[in-house]
Chains A and B, each alone.
Chain A
Protein backbone atom coordinates (compact mmCIF):
# COMPACT_ATOMS: atom_id res chain seq x y z
CA UNK A 1 0.00 0.00 0.00
CA UNK A 2 1.52 3.35 -0.97
CA UNK A 3 1.83 6.20 1.50
CA UNK A 4 -0.66 8.19 -0.51
CA UNK A 5 -3.42 5.59 -0.41
CA UNK A 6 -2.70 4.92 3.26
CA UNK A 7 -3.03 8.60 4.09
CA UNK A 8 -6.25 8.94 2.12
CA UNK A 9 -7.79 5.82 3.67
CA UNK A 10 -6.88 6.98 7.14
CA UNK A 11 -8.32 10.42 6.54
CA UNK A 12 -11.55 8.90 5.16
CA UNK A 13 -11.91 6.51 8.12
CA UNK A 14 -11.33 9.38 10.53
CA UNK A 15 -14.00 11.47 8.80
CA UNK A 16 -16.56 8.67 8.92
CA UNK A 17 -15.85 7.93 12.59
CA UNK A 18 -16.14 11.57 13.61
CA UNK A 19 -19.37 11.94 11.58
CA UNK A 20 -20.91 8.88 13.29
CA UNK A 21 -19.90 10.09 16.75
CA UNK A 22 -21.26 13.56 16.07
CA UNK A 23 -24.58 12.17 14.82
CA UNK A 24 -24.88 9.89 17.81
CA UNK A 25 -24.24 12.81 20.19
CA UNK A 26 -26.73 15.09 18.47
CA UNK A 27 -29.43 12.38 18.40
CA UNK A 28 -29.03 11.48 22.08
CA UNK A 29 -29.16 15.14 23.16
CA UNK A 30 -32.26 15.58 20.99
CA UNK A 31 -33.87 12.50 22.51
CA UNK A 32 -33.32 13.66 26.10
CA UNK A 33 -34.61 17.14 25.28
CA UNK A 34 -37.58 15.59 23.46
CA UNK A 35 -38.63 13.51 26.47
CA UNK A 36 -38.67 16.64 28.59
CA UNK A 37 -40.71 18.49 26.01
CA UNK A 38 -43.24 15.66 25.88
CA UNK A 39 -43.59 15.76 29.67
CA UNK A 40 -44.06 19.51 29.64
CA UNK A 41 -46.67 19.34 26.90
CA UNK A 42 -48.52 16.65 28.83
CA UNK A 43 -48.50 18.72 32.02
CA UNK A 44 -49.68 21.74 30.05
CA UNK A 45 -52.56 19.70 28.66
CA UNK A 46 -53.44 18.40 32.11
CA UNK A 47 -53.47 21.96 33.51
CA UNK A 48 -55.65 23.15 30.68
CA UNK A 49 -58.12 20.31 31.22
CA UNK A 50 -58.17 20.92 35.02
CA UNK A 51 -58.67 24.63 34.51
CA UNK A 52 -61.55 24.00 32.10
CA UNK A 53 -63.11 21.56 34.57
CA UNK A 54 -62.84 24.07 37.45
CA UNK A 55 -64.43 26.85 35.37
CA UNK A 56 -67.28 24.58 34.25
CA UNK A 57 -67.86 23.33 37.82
CA UNK A 58 -68.11 26.89 39.18
CA UNK A 59 -70.40 27.90 36.32
CA UNK A 60 -72.26 24.61 36.65
CA UNK A 61 -72.34 24.47 32.89
CA UNK A 62 -71.90 21.00 31.47
CA UNK A 63 -72.30 22.22 27.87
CA UNK A 64 -69.57 24.78 28.28
CA UNK A 65 -67.23 22.07 29.58
CA UNK A 66 -67.84 19.95 26.54
CA UNK A 67 -67.36 22.85 24.17
CA UNK A 68 -64.13 23.81 25.99
CA UNK A 69 -62.89 20.28 25.74
CA UNK A 70 -63.73 20.28 22.05
CA UNK A 71 -61.77 23.49 21.68
CA UNK A 72 -58.84 21.93 23.56
CA UNK A 73 -58.96 18.83 21.36
CA UNK A 74 -58.69 21.08 18.30
CA UNK A 75 -55.78 22.97 19.89
CA UNK A 76 -53.98 19.89 21.17
CA UNK A 77 -54.13 17.05 18.66
CA UNK A 78 -52.53 14.85 21.32
CA UNK A 79 -55.80 14.90 23.27
CA UNK A 80 -57.30 11.68 21.89
CA UNK A 81 -60.52 11.50 23.89
CA UNK A 82 -62.13 12.68 27.11
CA UNK A 83 -64.56 11.01 29.44
CA UNK A 84 -66.35 13.36 31.89
CA UNK A 85 -68.21 12.25 35.02
CA UNK A 86 -70.23 14.81 37.00
CA UNK A 87 -71.05 13.94 40.64
CA UNK A 88 -73.65 15.99 42.37
CA UNK A 89 -74.63 14.37 45.62
CA UNK A 90 -75.58 10.91 44.60
CA UNK A 91 -76.45 11.92 41.09
CA UNK A 92 -73.97 11.06 38.37
CA UNK A 93 -73.91 12.22 34.76
CA UNK A 94 -71.37 11.18 32.14
CA UNK A 95 -70.27 12.84 28.96
CA UNK A 96 -67.96 11.44 26.24
CA UNK A 97 -65.84 13.31 23.77
CA UNK A 98 -64.38 10.98 21.18
CA UNK A 99 -63.56 7.37 21.90
CA UNK A 100 -60.38 5.63 22.94
CA UNK A 101 -58.66 4.48 19.71
CA UNK A 102 -57.67 0.87 19.55
CA UNK A 103 -54.18 1.55 18.15
CA UNK A 104 -51.36 3.87 19.15
CA UNK A 105 -49.79 4.54 22.47
CA UNK A 106 -52.44 6.25 24.50
CA UNK A 107 -51.80 7.12 28.15
CA UNK A 108 -54.86 7.79 30.21
CA UNK A 109 -54.72 10.71 32.66
CA UNK A 110 -57.27 11.63 35.26
CA UNK A 111 -58.31 15.04 36.67
CA UNK A 112 -60.63 15.40 39.62
CA UNK A 113 -61.96 18.85 40.55
CA UNK A 114 -64.40 19.73 43.40
CA UNK A 115 -66.18 22.96 44.21
CA UNK A 116 -64.99 24.16 47.67
CA UNK A 117 -68.39 25.80 48.38
CA UNK A 118 -70.22 22.62 47.45
CA UNK A 119 -68.11 19.67 48.48
CA UNK A 120 -70.44 17.09 47.00
CA UNK A 121 -70.16 18.62 43.55
CA UNK A 122 -67.24 16.96 41.74
CA UNK A 123 -66.11 16.67 38.14
CA UNK A 124 -63.90 13.79 37.12
CA UNK A 125 -62.30 13.85 33.68
CA UNK A 126 -60.37 10.91 32.26
CA UNK A 127 -58.55 11.81 29.02
CA UNK A 128 -56.23 10.02 26.68
CA UNK A 129 -52.96 11.54 25.63
CA UNK A 130 -51.55 10.24 22.35
CA UNK A 131 -47.83 10.20 22.93
CA UNK A 132 -47.05 9.61 19.28
CA UNK A 133 -48.73 12.82 18.36
CA UNK A 134 -46.90 14.59 21.15
CA UNK A 135 -43.61 13.24 19.87
CA UNK A 136 -44.25 13.91 16.21
CA UNK A 137 -42.71 17.45 16.04
CA UNK A 138 -39.71 16.28 18.02
CA UNK A 139 -39.12 13.37 15.64
CA UNK A 140 -39.58 15.70 12.74
CA UNK A 141 -36.91 18.04 14.15
CA UNK A 142 -34.61 15.07 14.68
CA UNK A 143 -34.99 13.96 11.07
CA UNK A 144 -34.23 17.45 9.78
CA UNK A 145 -31.21 17.75 11.99
CA UNK A 146 -29.87 14.40 10.75
CA UNK A 147 -30.41 15.48 7.19
CA UNK A 148 -28.45 18.70 7.75
CA UNK A 149 -25.77 16.75 9.56
CA UNK A 150 -25.49 14.32 6.68
CA UNK A 151 -25.14 17.12 4.18
CA UNK A 152 -22.60 19.15 6.09
CA UNK A 153 -20.81 15.94 7.07
CA UNK A 154 -20.46 14.80 3.48
CA UNK A 155 -19.28 18.25 2.50
CA UNK A 156 -16.58 18.34 5.19
CA UNK A 157 -15.66 14.74 4.34
CA UNK A 158 -15.19 15.75 0.72
CA UNK A 159 -13.15 18.76 1.78
CA UNK A 160 -11.09 16.65 4.17
CA UNK A 161 -10.43 14.02 1.54
CA UNK A 162 -9.23 16.52 -1.02
CA UNK A 163 -7.03 18.03 1.67
CA UNK A 164 -5.63 14.57 2.42
CA UNK A 165 -4.99 13.98 -1.29
CA UNK A 166 -3.26 17.35 -1.57
CA UNK A 167 -1.21 16.72 1.58
CA UNK A 168 -0.19 13.24 0.56
CA UNK A 169 0.76 14.49 -2.88
CA UNK A 170 2.96 17.24 -1.49
CA UNK A 171 4.52 14.68 0.84
CA UNK A 172 5.06 11.95 -1.71
CA UNK A 173 6.29 14.24 -4.51
CA UNK A 174 9.49 14.90 -2.58
CA UNK A 175 9.83 11.23 -1.61
CA UNK A 176 9.34 10.10 -5.20
CA UNK A 177 11.92 12.66 -6.36
CA UNK A 178 14.29 11.49 -3.64
CA UNK A 179 13.91 7.85 -4.61
CA UNK A 180 14.56 8.78 -8.23
CA UNK A 181 17.82 10.47 -7.21
CA UNK A 182 18.70 7.42 -5.08
CA UNK A 183 18.11 5.26 -8.13
CA UNK A 184 20.47 7.46 -10.16
CA UNK A 185 23.11 7.12 -7.46
CA UNK A 186 22.73 3.36 -7.38
CA UNK A 187 23.22 3.40 -11.15
CA UNK A 188 26.56 5.08 -10.57
CA UNK A 189 25.77 8.77 -11.09
CA UNK A 190 27.43 9.80 -7.84
CA UNK A 191 27.14 13.37 -6.64
CA UNK A 192 23.65 14.07 -8.10
CA UNK A 193 21.64 16.36 -5.86
CA UNK A 194 17.95 16.99 -5.29
CA UNK A 195 17.06 20.69 -5.37
CA UNK A 196 14.44 20.90 -2.63
CA UNK A 197 14.19 23.71 -0.12
CA UNK A 198 11.94 23.33 2.91
CA UNK A 199 12.31 23.79 6.66
CA UNK A 200 10.50 20.57 7.57
CA UNK A 201 11.67 17.00 8.10
CA UNK A 202 11.65 16.31 4.35
CA UNK A 203 13.96 19.28 3.84
CA UNK A 204 16.29 17.91 6.52
CA UNK A 205 16.20 14.47 4.88
CA UNK A 206 17.02 15.98 1.49
CA UNK A 207 19.93 17.94 2.99
CA UNK A 208 21.34 14.80 4.62
CA UNK A 209 20.79 12.89 1.40
CA UNK A 210 22.59 15.51 -0.70
CA UNK A 211 25.47 15.50 1.76
CA UNK A 212 25.69 11.74 1.45
CA UNK A 213 25.70 11.94 -2.33
CA UNK A 214 28.51 14.52 -2.32
CA UNK A 215 30.49 12.39 0.10
CA UNK A 216 30.02 9.37 -2.16
CA UNK A 217 31.28 11.37 -5.12
CA UNK A 218 34.31 12.48 -3.07
CA UNK A 219 35.00 8.89 -2.09
CA UNK A 220 34.69 7.88 -5.72
CA UNK A 221 37.33 10.44 -6.65
CA UNK A 222 39.56 9.08 -3.88
CA UNK A 223 39.00 5.59 -5.26
CA UNK A 224 39.79 6.69 -8.82
CA UNK A 225 42.90 8.51 -7.56
CA UNK A 226 43.82 5.36 -5.74
CA UNK A 227 43.35 3.11 -8.76
CA UNK A 228 45.15 5.47 -11.12
CA UNK A 229 47.95 6.03 -8.61
CA UNK A 230 48.37 2.32 -7.94
CA UNK A 231 48.20 1.49 -11.64
CA UNK A 232 50.79 4.10 -12.49
CA UNK A 233 53.10 3.37 -9.56
CA UNK A 234 53.07 -0.38 -10.19
CA UNK A 235 53.04 -0.41 -13.94
CA UNK A 236 55.62 2.27 -14.55
CA UNK A 237 58.58 0.67 -12.71
CA UNK A 238 57.49 -2.85 -13.68
CA UNK A 239 57.27 -1.78 -17.30
CA UNK A 240 60.72 -0.22 -17.13
CA UNK A 241 62.19 -3.39 -15.60
CA UNK A 242 60.45 -5.54 -18.20
CA UNK A 243 61.77 -3.38 -21.02
CA UNK A 244 65.34 -3.13 -19.71
CA UNK A 245 65.77 -6.90 -19.39
CA UNK A 246 65.66 -7.78 -23.13
CA UNK A 247 67.93 -4.81 -23.84
CA UNK A 248 70.49 -6.13 -21.35
CA UNK A 249 70.20 -9.66 -22.80
CA UNK A 250 70.83 -8.30 -26.30
CA UNK A 251 73.88 -6.35 -25.19
CA UNK A 252 75.34 -9.25 -23.24
CA UNK A 253 74.91 -11.63 -26.16
CA UNK A 254 76.50 -9.10 -28.51
CA UNK A 255 79.42 -8.98 -26.06
CA UNK A 256 80.70 -5.53 -27.02
CA UNK A 257 82.52 -3.52 -24.35
CA UNK A 258 80.33 -0.43 -24.73
CA UNK A 259 77.17 -2.52 -24.67
CA UNK A 260 78.28 -4.30 -21.52
CA UNK A 261 78.93 -0.95 -19.76
CA UNK A 262 75.46 0.22 -20.81
CA UNK A 263 74.04 -3.02 -19.42
CA UNK A 264 75.54 -2.20 -16.02
CA UNK A 265 73.84 1.19 -16.15
CA UNK A 266 70.55 -0.53 -17.04
CA UNK A 267 70.97 -2.92 -14.11
CA UNK A 268 71.31 0.10 -11.79
CA UNK A 269 68.13 1.47 -13.27
CA UNK A 270 66.35 -1.83 -12.68
CA UNK A 271 67.56 -1.78 -9.08
CA UNK A 272 66.21 1.76 -8.62
CA UNK A 273 62.85 0.68 -10.04
CA UNK A 274 62.74 -2.35 -7.74
CA UNK A 275 63.43 -0.01 -4.81
CA UNK A 276 60.68 2.29 -5.94
CA UNK A 277 58.23 -0.63 -6.17
CA UNK A 278 59.30 -1.84 -2.76
CA UNK A 279 58.79 1.59 -1.19
CA UNK A 280 55.37 1.93 -2.79
CA UNK A 281 54.21 -1.47 -1.61
CA UNK A 282 55.47 -0.78 1.92
CA UNK A 283 53.58 2.54 1.88
CA UNK A 284 50.44 0.81 0.60
CA UNK A 285 50.63 -1.76 3.38
CA UNK A 286 51.12 1.04 5.92
CA UNK A 287 48.07 2.85 4.57
CA UNK A 288 46.06 -0.37 4.80
CA UNK A 289 47.19 -0.75 8.42
CA UNK A 290 46.27 2.86 9.16
CA UNK A 291 42.83 2.49 7.57
CA UNK A 292 42.14 -0.63 9.61
CA UNK A 293 43.44 1.07 12.77
CA UNK A 294 46.19 -1.53 13.09
CA UNK A 295 49.19 0.79 12.81
CA UNK A 296 50.96 -0.10 16.02
CA UNK A 297 53.57 2.09 17.63
CA UNK A 298 55.66 0.82 20.51
CA UNK A 299 56.48 3.91 22.56
CA UNK A 300 59.85 3.94 24.29
CA UNK A 301 62.17 6.76 25.35
CA UNK A 302 64.01 7.79 22.21
CA UNK A 303 66.94 10.18 21.62
CA UNK A 304 66.11 12.22 18.53
CA UNK A 305 69.65 13.44 17.77
CA UNK A 306 71.15 10.16 16.49
CA UNK A 307 67.94 9.26 14.62
CA UNK A 308 67.90 12.62 12.81
CA UNK A 309 71.59 12.27 11.98
CA UNK A 310 70.91 8.82 10.52
CA UNK A 311 68.02 10.14 8.40
CA UNK A 312 70.12 13.06 7.15
CA UNK A 313 72.95 10.68 6.21
CA UNK A 314 70.47 8.56 4.25
CA UNK A 315 69.91 11.50 1.90
CA UNK A 316 73.50 12.69 1.80
CA UNK A 317 74.33 11.30 -1.64
CA UNK A 318 71.07 12.40 -3.21
CA UNK A 319 71.41 15.92 -1.76
CA UNK A 320 74.95 16.20 -3.00
CA UNK A 321 73.94 15.12 -6.50
CA UNK A 322 71.12 17.66 -6.43
CA UNK A 323 73.31 20.50 -5.11
CA UNK A 324 71.24 20.87 -1.93
CA UNK A 325 72.66 21.17 1.59
CA UNK A 326 71.01 19.15 4.38
CA UNK A 327 71.65 20.65 7.83
CA UNK A 328 70.86 18.69 10.98
CA UNK A 329 70.55 21.10 13.92
CA UNK A 330 68.82 18.66 16.26
CA UNK A 331 70.77 18.58 19.49
CA UNK A 332 70.17 18.97 23.21
CA UNK A 333 66.45 18.16 23.28
CA UNK A 334 65.20 15.71 25.92
CA UNK A 335 64.34 12.16 24.83
CA UNK A 336 60.79 11.66 23.53
CA UNK A 337 58.32 8.82 23.95
CA UNK A 338 58.16 7.30 20.47
CA UNK A 339 58.54 4.31 18.16
CA UNK A 340 62.01 4.66 16.62
CA UNK A 341 61.13 2.94 13.31
CA UNK A 342 58.03 5.06 12.84
CA UNK A 343 59.78 8.35 13.68
CA UNK A 344 62.54 7.41 11.21
CA UNK A 345 59.82 6.85 8.60
CA UNK A 346 58.34 10.31 9.37
CA UNK A 347 61.73 12.00 9.06
CA UNK A 348 62.55 10.17 5.81
CA UNK A 349 59.19 11.03 4.23
CA UNK A 350 59.51 14.70 5.21
CA UNK A 351 63.16 14.91 4.07
CA UNK A 352 62.34 13.18 0.78
CA UNK A 353 59.59 15.72 0.12
CA UNK A 354 61.82 18.65 1.09
CA UNK A 355 64.60 17.47 -1.24
CA UNK A 356 62.13 16.80 -4.04
CA UNK A 357 60.93 20.40 -4.09
CA UNK A 358 64.23 22.19 -3.36
CA UNK A 359 66.25 23.24 -6.38
CA UNK A 360 70.01 23.27 -6.64
CA UNK A 361 71.67 25.77 -4.28
CA UNK A 362 68.87 25.38 -1.74
CA UNK A 363 68.95 24.18 1.84
CA UNK A 364 67.03 21.64 3.91
CA UNK A 365 67.17 22.10 7.69
CA UNK A 366 66.27 19.78 10.56
CA UNK A 367 65.51 21.57 13.86
CA UNK A 368 63.96 20.69 17.22
CA UNK A 369 62.87 22.62 20.30
CA UNK A 370 61.11 21.88 23.54
CA UNK A 371 57.70 23.47 24.13
CA UNK A 372 55.17 23.26 26.95
CA UNK A 373 51.39 23.43 26.81
CA UNK A 374 48.40 22.41 28.93
CA UNK A 375 48.86 18.77 27.88
CA UNK A 376 52.50 18.61 28.98
CA UNK A 377 56.00 18.91 27.52
CA UNK A 378 56.65 18.31 23.83
CA UNK A 379 59.53 18.31 21.40
CA UNK A 380 58.67 20.01 18.12
CA UNK A 381 60.71 18.75 15.16
CA UNK A 382 60.82 20.89 12.03
CA UNK A 383 61.89 20.01 8.51
CA UNK A 384 62.29 23.28 6.59
CA UNK A 385 63.27 23.80 2.96
CA UNK A 386 63.99 26.72 0.67
CA UNK A 387 61.95 25.21 -2.16
CA UNK A 388 59.05 26.68 -4.06
CA UNK A 389 56.45 26.39 -1.26
CA UNK A 390 52.79 25.90 -2.06
CA UNK A 391 49.40 27.55 -2.39
CA UNK A 392 46.59 27.50 0.22
CA UNK A 393 44.53 25.16 -1.97
CA UNK A 394 47.33 22.59 -2.08
CA UNK A 395 47.91 22.97 1.66
CA UNK A 396 44.29 22.01 2.32
CA UNK A 397 44.50 18.58 0.73
CA UNK A 398 48.13 17.88 1.49
CA UNK A 399 47.54 15.21 4.11
CA UNK A 400 44.92 13.20 2.20
CA UNK A 401 45.90 9.79 0.87
CA UNK A 402 46.59 9.53 -2.89
CA UNK A 403 46.38 13.29 -3.28
CA UNK A 404 49.11 15.62 -4.42
CA UNK A 405 49.43 19.31 -5.00
CA UNK A 406 48.69 20.74 -8.44
CA UNK A 407 51.69 20.91 -10.78
CA UNK A 408 53.48 18.67 -8.33
CA UNK A 409 55.99 17.68 -10.98
CA UNK A 410 56.86 21.10 -12.29
CA UNK A 411 60.57 21.57 -12.13
CA UNK A 412 60.96 18.48 -9.96
CA UNK A 413 63.46 15.74 -10.56
CA UNK A 414 62.43 12.09 -10.34
CA UNK A 415 59.10 10.35 -10.62
CA UNK A 416 55.71 11.70 -9.72
CA UNK A 417 55.24 10.06 -6.32
CA UNK A 418 52.14 8.48 -4.88
CA UNK A 419 50.60 11.02 -2.54
CA UNK A 420 50.95 8.68 0.44
CA UNK A 421 53.97 10.09 2.27
CA UNK A 422 52.32 12.91 4.21
CA UNK A 423 49.23 10.84 4.91
CA UNK A 424 51.45 8.26 6.59
CA UNK A 425 53.36 11.03 8.43
CA UNK A 426 50.14 12.50 9.79
CA UNK A 427 48.81 9.09 10.85
CA UNK A 428 52.04 8.08 12.62
CA UNK A 429 52.30 11.38 14.50
CA UNK A 430 48.59 11.17 15.46
CA UNK A 431 49.21 7.66 16.76
CA UNK A 432 51.90 9.17 19.01
CA UNK A 433 49.40 11.76 20.27
CA UNK A 434 51.19 14.61 18.51
CA UNK A 435 50.29 17.03 15.72
CA UNK A 436 51.68 17.91 12.30
CA UNK A 437 51.61 21.50 11.10
CA UNK A 438 52.81 23.06 7.92
CA UNK A 439 53.63 26.63 7.03
CA UNK A 440 54.32 27.71 3.50
CA UNK A 441 53.96 30.46 0.99
CA UNK A 442 54.43 30.07 -2.76
CA UNK A 443 58.07 30.79 -3.52
CA UNK A 444 59.17 30.89 0.13
CA UNK A 445 59.81 27.28 1.03
CA UNK A 446 57.85 25.00 3.34
CA UNK A 447 58.16 24.14 7.06
CA UNK A 448 56.71 20.87 8.36
CA UNK A 449 56.60 20.62 12.16
CA UNK A 450 55.53 17.59 14.16
CA UNK A 451 55.36 17.19 17.91
CA UNK A 452 56.29 14.22 20.13
CA UNK A 453 55.73 13.91 23.87
CA UNK A 454 58.79 14.26 26.12
CA UNK A 455 59.61 10.97 27.87
CA UNK A 456 59.16 10.78 31.65
Chain B
Protein backbone atom coordinates (compact mmCIF):
# COMPACT_ATOMS: atom_id res chain seq x y z
CA UNK B 1 0.00 0.00 0.00
CA UNK B 2 1.28 3.43 -0.94
CA UNK B 3 2.43 5.85 1.77
CA UNK B 4 -0.20 8.56 2.31
CA UNK B 5 0.88 12.21 2.39
CA UNK B 6 -1.30 15.19 3.29
CA UNK B 7 -0.17 18.49 1.71
CA UNK B 8 -1.53 21.71 3.27
CA UNK B 9 -0.70 24.93 1.41
CA UNK B 10 -2.80 27.99 0.63
CA UNK B 11 -1.11 28.63 -2.72
CA UNK B 12 -2.52 26.55 -5.53
CA UNK B 13 0.79 26.53 -7.44
CA UNK B 14 2.56 24.87 -4.55
CA UNK B 15 -0.23 22.34 -4.03
CA UNK B 16 0.12 21.34 -7.67
CA UNK B 17 3.92 21.18 -7.55
CA UNK B 18 4.07 19.19 -4.31
CA UNK B 19 1.37 16.82 -5.53
CA UNK B 20 3.22 16.24 -8.78
CA UNK B 21 6.60 15.65 -7.10
CA UNK B 22 5.18 13.35 -4.41
CA UNK B 23 3.00 11.36 -6.83
CA UNK B 24 5.99 10.95 -9.11
CA UNK B 25 7.82 9.34 -6.17
CA UNK B 26 4.99 6.93 -5.55
CA UNK B 27 3.18 8.60 -2.65
CA UNK B 28 -0.58 8.82 -2.37
CA UNK B 29 -1.32 12.57 -2.03
CA UNK B 30 -4.25 14.45 -0.51
CA UNK B 31 -4.50 18.26 -0.64
CA UNK B 32 -5.88 20.89 1.75
CA UNK B 33 -5.94 24.70 1.49
CA UNK B 34 -5.54 25.51 5.15
CA UNK B 35 -5.09 23.97 8.59
CA UNK B 36 -8.79 23.56 9.26
CA UNK B 37 -9.40 21.62 6.07
CA UNK B 38 -6.25 19.57 6.77
CA UNK B 39 -7.43 18.62 10.26
CA UNK B 40 -10.84 17.68 8.92
CA UNK B 41 -9.24 15.39 6.31
CA UNK B 42 -7.01 13.80 8.97
CA UNK B 43 -9.99 13.16 11.25
CA UNK B 44 -11.69 11.33 8.38
CA UNK B 45 -8.67 9.15 7.82
CA UNK B 46 -5.14 9.64 9.18
CA UNK B 47 -2.12 9.69 6.89
CA UNK B 48 1.55 8.72 7.27
CA UNK B 49 3.13 12.15 6.97
CA UNK B 50 1.95 15.78 6.73
CA UNK B 51 3.57 18.59 4.71
CA UNK B 52 2.29 21.91 5.95
CA UNK B 53 2.96 25.54 4.97
CA UNK B 54 3.64 27.93 7.85
CA UNK B 55 1.95 31.13 6.69
CA UNK B 56 -1.65 30.41 5.82
CA UNK B 57 -5.01 32.12 6.38
CA UNK B 58 -7.59 30.78 8.85
CA UNK B 59 -5.37 28.23 10.58
CA UNK B 60 -1.62 28.59 10.05
CA UNK B 61 0.96 25.80 10.23
CA UNK B 62 1.76 26.46 13.86
CA UNK B 63 -1.82 26.19 15.09
CA UNK B 64 -2.38 23.18 12.88
CA UNK B 65 0.57 21.40 14.55
CA UNK B 66 -0.60 22.20 18.06
CA UNK B 67 -4.15 21.07 17.35
CA UNK B 68 -3.08 17.92 15.57
CA UNK B 69 -0.74 16.99 18.44
CA UNK B 70 -3.66 17.38 20.84
CA UNK B 71 -5.65 14.62 19.09
CA UNK B 72 -4.49 11.25 20.52
CA UNK B 73 -5.13 9.36 17.30
CA UNK B 74 -3.13 11.87 15.22
CA UNK B 75 -0.42 13.06 17.60
CA UNK B 76 2.33 10.74 16.32
CA UNK B 77 2.05 11.65 12.63
CA UNK B 78 5.35 13.23 11.52
CA UNK B 79 5.11 16.81 10.24
CA UNK B 80 7.41 18.53 7.72
CA UNK B 81 6.99 22.29 7.58
CA UNK B 82 7.39 24.13 4.30
CA UNK B 83 8.23 27.76 4.77
CA UNK B 84 9.98 30.80 3.38
CA UNK B 85 11.00 31.68 6.93
CA UNK B 86 14.48 30.50 7.66
CA UNK B 87 16.15 32.04 10.66
CA UNK B 88 17.52 29.79 13.38
CA UNK B 89 15.14 31.34 15.92
CA UNK B 90 12.16 30.48 13.77
CA UNK B 91 13.36 26.92 13.30
CA UNK B 92 13.77 26.53 17.06
CA UNK B 93 10.29 27.95 17.59
CA UNK B 94 8.86 25.48 15.11
CA UNK B 95 10.63 22.54 16.78
CA UNK B 96 8.93 23.63 20.01
CA UNK B 97 5.47 23.30 18.58
CA UNK B 98 6.17 19.86 17.26
CA UNK B 99 7.58 20.04 13.75
CA UNK B 100 9.83 17.13 12.78
CA UNK B 101 11.69 18.76 9.91
CA UNK B 102 11.88 21.75 7.64
CA UNK B 103 11.87 22.44 3.96
CA UNK B 104 12.54 25.99 2.83
CA UNK B 105 10.61 27.27 -0.21
CA UNK B 106 11.53 27.04 -3.04
CA UNK B 107 12.66 23.46 -2.50
CA UNK B 108 14.28 21.04 -4.89
CA UNK B 109 12.34 17.82 -5.45
CA UNK B 110 15.18 15.45 -4.35
CA UNK B 111 15.68 17.33 -1.08
CA UNK B 112 11.97 17.37 -0.34
CA UNK B 113 11.65 13.64 -0.97
CA UNK B 114 14.75 12.85 1.08
CA UNK B 115 13.42 14.78 4.06
CA UNK B 116 9.95 13.21 3.83
CA UNK B 117 11.50 9.74 3.69
CA UNK B 118 13.78 10.56 6.64
CA UNK B 119 10.94 11.58 8.93
CA UNK B 120 8.97 8.53 7.84
CA UNK B 121 11.94 6.32 8.73
CA UNK B 122 12.31 7.94 12.13
CA UNK B 123 8.59 7.49 12.82
CA UNK B 124 8.93 3.83 11.77
CA UNK B 125 11.81 3.34 14.23
CA UNK B 126 9.81 4.95 17.04
CA UNK B 127 6.95 2.55 16.49
CA UNK B 128 9.22 -0.47 16.30
Q: Which residues of A contact B (CB under 8 A)?
A: 228, 231-232, 235-236, 238-240, 242-244, 246-247, 250, 266, 269, 273, 407-410, 412, 415-416
Contacts and interface: CB of A to CB of B under 8 A. Distances in A.
Given A232-B55, A247-B20, A240 B84 contact: no
A231 B84 contact: yes
A235 B105 contact: yes
A245 to B, nearest CB: 10
Given A239-B106, A242-B106, A273 B13 contact: yes
B16 interface: yes
B17 A235 contact: no
Contacts of B10: 409, 416
Given A232-B55, A236-B11, A412-B57, A243 B84 contact: no
B113 interface: no
B97 interface: no
Interface in B1-60: 10-11, 13-14, 16-17, 20-21, 24, 55-58
B84 A232 contact: yes
Contacts of A407: 57-58
Nearest to A240: B13
B109 interface: yes
A235 B13 contact: no
Contacts of B14: 236, 239-240, 243
Nearest to B14: A240
Contacts of B85: 228
A273 B12 CA distance: 12
15 contacts: A232-B55, A232-B84, A239-B84, A239-B106, A240-B11, A240-B13, A242-B106, A243-B14, A243-B109, A407-B58, A409-B56, A410-B57, A410-B58, A415-B11, A416-B57
A243 B17 contact: yes
A235 B106 contact: yes
Contact of B16 (A236, A269, A409): A269
Interface of B: 10-11, 13-14, 16-17, 20-21, 24, 55-58, 84-85, 105-107, 109
Contact of A244 (B17, B24, B84, B105): B17
A368 B111 CA distance: 55
Contacts of A247: 17, 20-21
Nearest to A239: B106
Contacts of B20: 247
A240 B55 CA distance: 16
A243 B20 CA distance: 10
State the main secondary structure of chain A at its contact with B.
helix
Contacts of A269: 13, 16
Contacts of B109: 243, 246
Nearest to B58: A410
A195 B45 CA distance: 56
Given A244-B17, A269-B16, A409-B10, A239 B105 contact: yes
Contacts of B21: 243, 247
Contacts of B55: 232, 416
A387 to B, nearest CB: 15
Contacts of A238: 106
B57 A409 contact: yes
Contacts of B11: 236, 240, 415
A416 B11 CA distance: 9
A246 B107 CA distance: 12
Contacts of A415: 11
Most chain A CB neighbours (cut-off 10 Å) among B55, B106, B107: B106
Contacts of A410: 57-58
Nearest to A241: B106
Contacts of B17: 240, 243-244, 247
A231 B106 CA distance: 11
Contacts of B24: 250
A407 B55 CA distance: 12
Contacts of B105: 235-236, 239
Contacts of B13: 240, 244, 269, 273
A240 B57 contact: no
A412 to B, nearest CB: 7
Most chain B CB neighbours (cut-off 10 Å) among A238, A240, A407: A240
Those 5 A-B pairs whose CB atoms lie nearest each other, nearest first: A239-B106, A409-B57, A240-B13, A243-B17, A239-B105
A408 B58 CA distance: 10
Given A231-B84, A232-B84, A240 B58 contact: no
A239 B21 CA distance: 14
A451 to B, nearest CB: 34
A16 to B, nearest CB: 60
B7 to A, nearest CB: 13
Contacts of A239: 14, 84, 105-107
A281 to B, nearest CB: 17
Contacts of A236: 11, 14, 84, 105
